[in-house]
Amino acid sequence: MRINNFLVDRRSMRDYRIKGLDPEVLDNIRKLLKELENEFKDGTFEFRLYENGQLIFNGLEGIAGYSGVMIESPHYIALDLKKNDDRTNIYSAYYMEKLVTKLIELDLATCWITVNDVDVNLKKELFGESTNQINFILAFGYPKRNNPFSKTPFSERIGVEEMVYYKEIGQHITLEYLEQIGLADTFYYLRFAPSIKNLQPWRFIVTDDKVHLLIKCDEGNNPSLVDAGIAMYYFEELQALQGTKNNWSLLEGDFTEGGIKYKYIAEYQL
């Protein structure tokens, strides 16, 4: 499926059939995990697949996920960071979301689960002594059959005008201009990217030959690097769909505007 249609239909699944996947399918997923790890040359993160989801679910029930609402699935994949720098946090999320697109192609469903507040010792007990830093895991499996009478839940998204600015934060950008520089479709579809608590913290500043990605920091002034990595993945894919095959380059720096802190994440040459 083309990545633009994929994004519009992409949903987090919180209701799985508990039956596990065939061993053959799990083996193919293990191969896929290795391929994606190797694509990121730094080697600073690892995917770890846990076949016995029941064990992980029992250990994290009431503790992990939003307000302790753990999601039950037959298997999980943990994202283990061997280095806790910005680059690893950003690109591990980039590849985790790339993994999500591959799993959905296999007719599976997924949901990111936040585990960063879970006690380190409990995480070592559940995920293994040799793990380093696990902030997020992925529930995956076959979705429960949808009730044909209920609508698929949809999480609202902000408009392009709240996300994309011209030359500086707050400066309006016109649709005509975005069309002229070939970014109108990319931003239209990018809004459907998933983010923690659906906060959609991505902000873009467009100049005549570049796009800057910034993250609007939370109340504690922390930027969500994982949301940045996910948006970077989809932005590159959406641009590639239109024949532009550039990659983001990471940037440093931050500034405060209207009492809100923004962190520079990366720039993309048009």
Ligand X SMILES: Cc1cc2nc3c(=O)[nH]c(=O)nc-3n(C[C@H](O)[C@H](O)[C@H](O)COP(=O)(O)O)c2cc1C
Q: What residues make contact with ligand X under the rule CB under 6 A?
A: 11-12, 14, 65-66, 71, 111-114, 136, 155, 194-198, 226, 230
CB of 230 to ligand X, least distance (A): 6
Q: Which residue has the tokens 């987090």?
A: 12
CB of 134 to ligand X, least distance (A): 13
Nearer to ligand X, 77 or 230 (CB): 230
Nearer to ligand X, 66 or 255 (CB): 66
CB of 65 to ligand X, least distance (A): 4
CB of 88 to ligand X, least distance (A): 15
DSSP state for residue 68 in the 8-state scheme? G
Instruction: Report the amino acid identity of residue 96.
Output: M
Nearer to ligand X, 78 or 113 (CB): 113
Nearer to ligand X, 49 or 196 (CB): 196
Question: CA–CA separation, 228 vs 237, rounded Å?
Answer: 14
CB of 234 to ligand X, least distance (A): 11
Backbone angles phi, psi at 212, to 5 degrees: -105, 135
**Secondary structure E strands in the chain:** 45-50, 75-81, 109-114, 133-141, 164-166, 202-206, 210-216, 249-250, 254-257, 260-269
Nearer to ligand X, 13 or 178 (CB): 13
Tokens of 259: 């009492």
CA 82 to chain centre: 19
CB of 44 to ligand X, least distance (A): 18
Question: CA–CA separation, 79 vs 89, rounded Å?
Answer: 10
Nearer to ligand X, 4 or 206 (CB): 4
| In the complex, residue closest to ligand X by CB | 194
CB of 225 to ligand X, least distance (A): 10
CB of 61 to ligand X, least distance (A): 13
Nearer to ligand X, 53 or 194 (CB): 194
Count of residues making up the chain: 270
Question: CA–CA separation, 49 vs 96, rounded Å?
Answer: 12
Question: CA–CA separation, 163 vs 75, rounded Å?
Answer: 35
Tokens of 155: 């999480």
CA 246 to chain centre: 20
Nearer to ligand X, 122 or 270 (CB): 122
Question: CA–CA separation, 162 vs 145, rounded Å?
Answer: 35
What is the number of alpha carbons within 13 Å of residue 181 lying toward its C-beta? 16
